[in-house]
Structure formats: C-alpha cells, structure tokens
Chain A
Amino acid sequence: MKLEQFVDKALGNELYKAQLSSGMEATLIPLNPAVNRTMVHLYTRFGSIDAKFLDSNLGKEVEVEDGTAHFLEHCAFYDPEGNDALQWFGKKGVSGNAWTSFDHTCYHFSSINENLKRNLDFLISFVTTPFLTDKVVEKEKGVIDQEIAMYEDMPGQVILVNLQKALMKKHAFARSIAGDRNSIRRITKEYLISAYNTFYHPSNLKLVMLIPSESKDAMKYFELAEEINNGKNFSPQKAPEFVYVDEPLEVNQKKIVARHKVPEPLVFMGFKGSMGMDKNADERLRENIVSDLLVKTVFSPSSKAFYELVLKKVIRPNSFEGFSYSGRGFGIFGVNGSIDDEDKFVNGVNEMVKKQVNGEMSKDLFDIVKKASINEMAKVFELESPRSLQSAMIHILASGFNPMNYMSTLLDVTYEDVLEAGKKYLDTDNYAVSVLLPEE
C-alpha cells in the first residue's frame, strides 16, 4: 500500500492518503496527541444534488425523489442484523451520528482514543451492509417527517431552500436536502436500494480519520483499515458515474416570496458562482477560495460601503451577512439580512456591489480579510469546536480538494483575482431573491 504525504507548511498540519484494496480511499490527519478525541468518518459521494444517477445494476438513468440521500442516511443506521446502530454506539460509550449534505453523506463517530479497531470495524460494517426492509422504510418516515417539521418551523431553513429553487434552472442544488413531507412519502424501498447499490460501494466511499497521533505511526492506521476492509470481502465495482447538468448562467426565478414567523422581511439575495466539473481540482479550489474572499470583502461589516448603507437605514448591522455554499460542481454566494423593506435592501446591495466591482473594493480591506481567513483555518485545528474541524475537512475533501493545499492557495490569491471574480459573478442583472414576509 502506497502512502502519500501532504504538508501544510503554514499551519504545520499533515495529511496522509492511500487507496485500500477494496477501492476505498483512506485519509489520515494526525491531531495533537495530547487530545483524547478520535474522530472517524466514512462518507459517500451521494447527496441531494445526485437526484439523477446511472444505476449500476440496471444500467440506466434513475431519478429519485427529493430527500432520498437523507432518507438513505437514516435507513443505513442499522447493523446487518437490523439493530439500530445508534444503540450500539451508545452501549459502547461512543458518540455516533451522520449528516447529509448537498454532495455527500457522512457517517461518523467520536470516541476517546481507545478501541479504534472495534469502532472502525462497526462503522464500516453498518454503512456497507444494507438492512433496507419495508419496516425500516416506514419507521424512518415517521422520524424524518418530524425532522422536516422542525426545519419548516425555522425561517433560516425555509428561506434558503427557496433561494436554491430561485437560482437553479436545472441543477439539483435546487432540491431540499431533507425533501418535504410529500416527497418522503413517495420514497420507495426500490429507489433506496438502487441508490445504495450505486453509491455505497467502497469505490465511492471515503474513510477520513482525524486521530491524535504522531506522524511516524500513520501507516498503522491504514494497515488497520486495510485489514478491516479485507475482512468484508467486497466484490469489485466501478465507481459511479455522476450526472452533471449544464446549468445555464441565468437564474431560474428573480424572486420567491413566502410568509413565516419573522418580525420583519427576511431577505436572502444570491448569485450563481462557478458551476460544473470541467476544471481540475486545484482550479476549483482556487475558485472557491476566491469566491469566499469576494463575499467576505464586498459584504464586510468593516467596509465604508456597509456603513453607508447602515446610516441610510438600508441594512441593519446586526443582521447582514455574506454567505457562500459550494461543493462538487456547484457554487452560490450572496448576502442575507432583515429590514422593513425588501426592495430597499436589494437595491442597496446592488448599489454596494456595483461600486465595489467597478473599482471601489478596498485593497487594504481585502488584505485584512485575507489574513482573517488564515485565522479561521487555524482556529478549526485548535479543536475548540471539533464539529467545525470535521465539517471543514469533510467539505473540502468531498469537493475533491486537498485540505493541505488550502492555505497555500489562499495565500496566493490576489486582490485582482477577487476583483475579477466579482465582475464575473456579481452580476446585478442576474441574481435571485428569496423573501420571507411576516405572517398576516
């Protein structure tokens, strides 16, 4: 087994990678050995954007209901005998969980630095062994129904899903990750099995280990993973073929308005970023970082443009924030806020954007924002919030990037790069708005 090593000189972190015999790719990021927390993840490249895929068994294109990847996450949480995997974790004093995102589903556990072999074996076992019965499917419908009800009571969730729909004409990023209460009722065992067989083979599963360890011991973790994988006797299977659509530049809908429990209008204004998989990983990573810095600079609360809008009462300083979402073949970014008049907000942001992309974007501010971004990455490795580290690493890896290239790429990005991206993507004639108005 060949072990590749990657080093981030700026932060002093390392990453090791190897391909296991089963086809599974394994990654190790050694953490500070003084910390008593091991975090292991097994993720599949299957998320809400993979609503259409080529079924490996049927050999034809299949389209599934909204929320299928998330539903499958729930159903996968059973061991080969049909026992709830959460219960196993609980009995062993291990914290197990999972999440579904736009482009991946991740199963993980956190434990003290003991019993790694036992825990890793169980994780790989239950994820790679389906227990998809009619009973399990019906059971999880009840739980997911309440999960969706919980999200539907959150204005922040509802407004984002609407923005996704408003932005995308064809791309499945328009679909809600959890689906809705009608779509999950239509999900069948057959579709779940089809998705499972296509995406849950080791050729599409990635093992990511965040383990307090010394670099010299890295190989032993890969040997352990290899031993466990070999014991499962996986039959060979090609990695799945993903279906990527050509998403047009134009947004789908200018505006979607709904009502919710908000005291005044809540507005999410979004722009399409780089879409598609035609560029290589390094190019896409750079684009992601450029977009991120663009959002942070243009919509920075430290900018004069921001303060002018505050004084004109176009935005409220405590509720104005830039955002960006990106992943395997998609990217969006924008800004959200609440104010008494949504049109005033949108016009104000457009004016702010136009001025900045036409040359008023402060280079000094860009330099400051860039340095602050270095801090953000440094902070996740401090492990004050282990979840932040997990999220950041899995997101970067699932997008096809190497976390150890992040810092060097960030340091290389220039003001001119960001200004150019602003001119390209912050098109004030091509944006979508999602608004929540107060209930009547």
Chain B
Amino acid sequence: MDFTKDILGNGTRLYVYQSDLYTHTSVDFNFYSQRDESNAAKTLVNMVMMGGSKNFPTNQELSLAAEKEFGAILMNKSTVIGDLHTFGFYLDILTKESLISGQKTLENTISLLADIIQNPLINDGKFNENDFERKKEELLLGIKKEKLDKGTKAALGFLKLVFGDAKCVYPKNGTEEDVEKLENFELVKLYHNWMSSLPRAIYVGTHLNSKYIKEVFEKSFDTLPKCKGEAHIEKTPKKNLSTFFEEQDSFDQTVVYAGVPVKVPKKKEDREALNLLNFYLGGYTNARLFTEIRTKRDMAYGAYSHLDLHKSLMFGTAGVDIENKDKTVDIMLNEIGKVASGKITKSGFKEAKNYLLNLRLMSLHTKGKRLDFIEESLLSGWKDQIKDFETAYTNVNYEDVVRVASLIKNEPIVYCLLQGGRK
C-alpha cells in the first residue's frame, strides 16, 4: 500500500492515503499516551475542548460552523489499543468539488479543528466552569452506562480475569473515582503539558493531493507546541491467569467467554497464519464455533472468536441461555483445543481462507480499514506488513496454519456473566 508519510513542523506525524474513488476526506487526529488512571482526565479534556474555542466560544457555534461545511462531521473520541490510550478528533468532510460547487470545505473545517485544539477557552487558568462541570457529569454518566452494558461488562470481566488490575485493561474513560477527583485548574495544566509532550499523528484518507493536505495542516496548526517522538504499543504484561470466574447480573441472556493465551509471532507471515487460524475457528458463519453452537444446536444467535495480538489472547464468545452455558463452554474449549493441536481440516482451511480473502477484496476500497491498518501497524512495530496490505493472506497455506497452531497454549480461561432476569 502506498501512502505518504510526513512530519509537520510541530512534530506531528502525518499519514495520507489517496484514492480517486473518494468523495470525502476523513481525518483522525490522535494524541497517544499510556493507558492508566489519567484516561479520565484525557477523555475529559477532549470533551471540554469541544465546548468552545477562541473563534467559536460555544458548543452551539462550533456545531454550526461544522454543519455549514455541508454537514461536516466533527467529533471527539477516546479509545484504547493495547496499552495505549488515544484521544483526539475525527472529521469527515465532503470535499469533491463537483458535488459542492468549489467551496473550501477542507480548509474551513481543518481551521475549525485547529482552533479547538490550539485555542480552547481558558481564562484565568480554568476552562469555562459550567462547561467543565457539565462535561464531568456527562463523563460520569457515560462510565456508569458502560458498566451497565452487558457486552462491555462481560468483556471487561474476562480481561480482568486474565490480567487482574494491569494497565492494559484499564477502562478507556477511567473510573468514576478518577473522574470525581478531577479539578478544572488541574485539567488546564494537563492540557498544556499534553500539547507539548504527547506524540501526535494525523491519518487522512482523501482524493485530494497529499502535498495540499500537508499545506493545509501546516498552515492551520501554526501555534501547536512541538511534540517529540512516536507512540508504540509495549509488550503485554504477565497474565494473572485465574482460569475461571462466574458472576450474575440482571440480564436476559448469559454471555460466555472462553479463551487461551497465544504467543505473538514476530514474522508477518506467521501473524497472518494465526489470524487465518482464528478466522477458521470463529470468524464467520461457517466457522467452527458458529457451526457447533448455532447451526447444529440452535443455542445462540451468534458465536465468534477473536484474536487480540496486543493481549496475546484468542477467545470465543457467545450469548446463550443459562441452561446452555456449560455446553457452550465445553464446545468452545473443545474447538479451541482442536485448533491448538493443529487439528484443522484442509477443506475447512481452504474455505476460511477463500472467505477471508473475498471479504478483504470487497472492502479494499474503504479508507477506514486502510487507515486503521496503517495506525495499528505503526504503533505495533509491524511496518513490514503495510506494503503487502492488498495481498495479505494470499500466500498463507495449510501447513503454515498447522505450524502456528503451536503458538496457542491450551491453558483455558473461562468467564461467564450469568443472566438473572430483569428486576
């Protein structure tokens, strides 16, 4: 995959993927840091910045300014990848001239973003007090809402079982306690600190010329303090390896997680083989888990597996009735066990590979997948895989997946979030 790499004068990395297929330009502006107790502060500062800026002093004016640019999408975001926390902004702008009569939507919207980042409303060392309190309350409610969500609760429960209180499972928006401790003036100090210390990167998918994109960013972000360095995902910490846990909550469905540790391969070819192995296990509707749990036994609406290379884990998950929980766990561990011992059918492998390759071909045109892939590859130190994006998996053969099966350690970890019915 060809894309341009630049470093702006202020130290921000700029990656641009260009294709004439696009009519919109998408921008991901990311700040990177360690995932820990400061997640709450980072998320909150990100939210408060959207409350207003020097040239657009209220959220309403900001929103209107973006909407004027043919409904440009401008939002703040906060996420985690491996042991990194990312906060920043996402933009999507209609930039195809033929559709918008030549208006300069890109420049206007990037200026708007630059104003938000470089010129938040800070007076006497504080953000607007009402905005700060309002956003703090919103963040608290958001955390409470996530704690009540079945999927989020189950995923976190499984990861805590494996890693205990390690930073790599710290919630992306922090905890309620973290948020309650935050003070306005401290947040401002953190903002100033982060603007000059945290590595930054911008990922752009566009039909426009990459030189022009760079010019727009250089011009708009002229007062952003210089930052240094690039972010990297570090090694996964040692696992806690408790192997079994169940808890109950008032849901209508039981969620099952069953997984095993995997050794992360250094070579790109081996990572592809391992990903394909996971796809065979539970990546689509003919995979082992879906077939055994839903197709043959009607026990779930869906049953899939996931390979998280940053956490060195492969795990299956399904939502089932509590009566079928034990059976589901047995099936998952049985299928994982087969895969771990290299018991993979040739026909199954062939079918899984064909399906995966076709899925990739069908979405090669999308900018989101490409940019996410570039970001993850760079953060993970897997630059070798970027150039082969279009041809990934084509050279993986049956012997490769059998070989990498030995990277799976058949040491099961099971977590169940049991249903308890609505109160």
The verdict on A262 contacting chain B, using a C-beta distance below 8 Å, is yes
* A158: min CB distance to chain B, Å: 9
State whether B64 touches A263 (Cβ < 8 A). no
Q: Knowing A91-B286, A152-B252 touch, does A306 contact B60 (C-beta < 8 A)?
A: yes
* A21: min CB distance to chain B, Å: 32
State whether A263 touches B295 (Cβ < 8 A). no
Q: Which one of B17-25, B82-90, B216-224, B394-402 contacts A?
A: B17-25
State whether A376 touches B71 (Cβ < 8 A). yes
Q: What residues of B have a CB within 8 angstroms of the CB of A369 in the complex?
A: 67, 71
Please provide the chain A residues from 16 to 60 with a CB less than 8 Å away from any CB of chain B in the complex.
32, 34-37
State whether A146 touches B357 (Cβ < 8 A). no
Q: What residues of A have a CB within 8 angstroms of the CB of B363 in the complex?
A: 37, 386
* A56: min CB distance to chain B, Å: 31
The verdict on A11 contacting chain B, using a C-beta distance below 8 Å, is yes
Given the complex of chains A and B, what is the CA–CA distance between A307 and B359 in angstroms?
44
Task: Return the contact of A111 from the options B63, B320, B358, B423 (Cβ within 8 A).
Answer: B358
Please provide the chain B residues from 310 to 355 with a CB less than 8 Å away from any CB of chain A in the complex.
319-321, 351, 354-355
Q: Mark A303-320, 1 if CB is under 8 A from B, else 0.
A: 110110011010011110
State whether A259 touches B358 (Cβ < 8 A). no
Please provide the chain A residues from 246 to 277 with a CB less than 8 Å away from any CB of chain B in the complex.
259-264
Q: Which one of B111-119, B167-175, B298-306 contacts A?
A: B298-306
The verdict on B59 contacting chain A, using a C-beta distance below 8 Å, is yes
Residue of B with least CB distance to A260? B422
The verdict on B242 contacting chain A, using a C-beta distance below 8 Å, is no
State whether A384 touches B367 (Cβ < 8 A). yes
Please provide the chain A residues from 365 to 379 with a CB less than 8 Å away from any CB of chain B in the complex.
365, 368-369, 371-376, 378-379
How many A residues have CB within 8 A of the partner chain? 72
State whether B351 touches A90 (Cβ < 8 A). yes
* A402: min CB distance to chain B, Å: 20
State whether A110 touches B321 (Cβ < 8 A). no
State whether B253 touches A153 (Cβ < 8 A). yes
Given the complex of chains A and B, what is the CA–CA distance between A156 and B98 in angstroms?
39
Q: What residues of B have a CB within 8 angstroms of the CB of A110 in the complex?
A: 362
State whether A378 touches B23 (Cβ < 8 A). yes
Q: Knowing A149-B321, A375-B71 touch, does A90 contact B361 (C-beta < 8 A)?
A: no
Q: What residues of A have a CB within 8 angstroms of the CB of B354 in the complex?
A: 93
Q: Which of B22, B23, B297 has the most CB of A within 10 A?
A: B23
Q: What residues of B have a CB within 8 angstroms of the CB of A303 in the complex?
A: 60
Q: Knowing A146-B319, A318-B138 touch, does A261 contact B148 (C-beta < 8 A)?
A: yes
The verdict on B190 contacting chain A, using a C-beta distance below 8 Å, is no
Given the complex of chains A and B, what is the CA–CA distance between A423 and B177 in angstroms?
47
The verdict on B3 contacting chain A, using a C-beta distance below 8 Å, is no
Residue of A with least CB distance to B66? A302
Q: Mark A104-138, 1 if CB is under 8 A from B, else 0.
A: 00000011100000000000000000000000000
Which 9 residue pairs across A and B have the least CB separation, nearest first?
A372-B71, A90-B286, A142-B298, A263-B144, A302-B64, A307-B60, A149-B253, A261-B148, A93-B358
B residues apposed to A, CB below 8 Å? 21-24, 26, 47, 58-60, 63-64, 67-68, 70-72, 92, 94, 96, 98-99, 130, 134, 137-138, 141-142, 144-145, 148-150, 250-253, 284-286, 291, 294-295, 297-301, 319-321, 351, 354-355, 357-359, 361-368, 419, 422-423
